[in-house]
Amino acid sequence: MHGSRTLNPTIARRAKKVALNRVERERITDSQLKLQAVSSSLNRVDPTKVPDLKSVKDCLEDADRILGNALRSPDSDKPE
């Protein structure tokens, strides 16, 4: 069964307009690091043994990019 991509760029653009506080920035940064660790770990998995592994990796990359964009949003609080 093919997984559906749930990260919609339109939704990300709308969410970008809301300022992030320090705690939210920390949570997003932590989540980004976890996504990157999972992605790196999956690079050592044989793609022939996991159906739709490329889709999973693409989704992780999209999530990392969207979270990074939220952190770079000019409306977000700057780190202290």
What is the DSSP code string of 27-49? HHHHHHHHHHHHHHHHTTS-GGG
pLDDT confidence of residue 16: 47
pLDDT confidence of residue 75: 58
What's the rounded Cα separation, in Å, for the pair 39 and 30? Answer: 14
pLDDT confidence of residue 43: 95
pLDDT confidence of residue 47: 95
pLDDT confidence of residue 19: 85
16-71 pLDDT tens trace: 466 899 999 999 999 999 999 999 999 999 999 999 999 999 999 999 999 999 99
Q: What is the pTM of this model?
A: 0.69
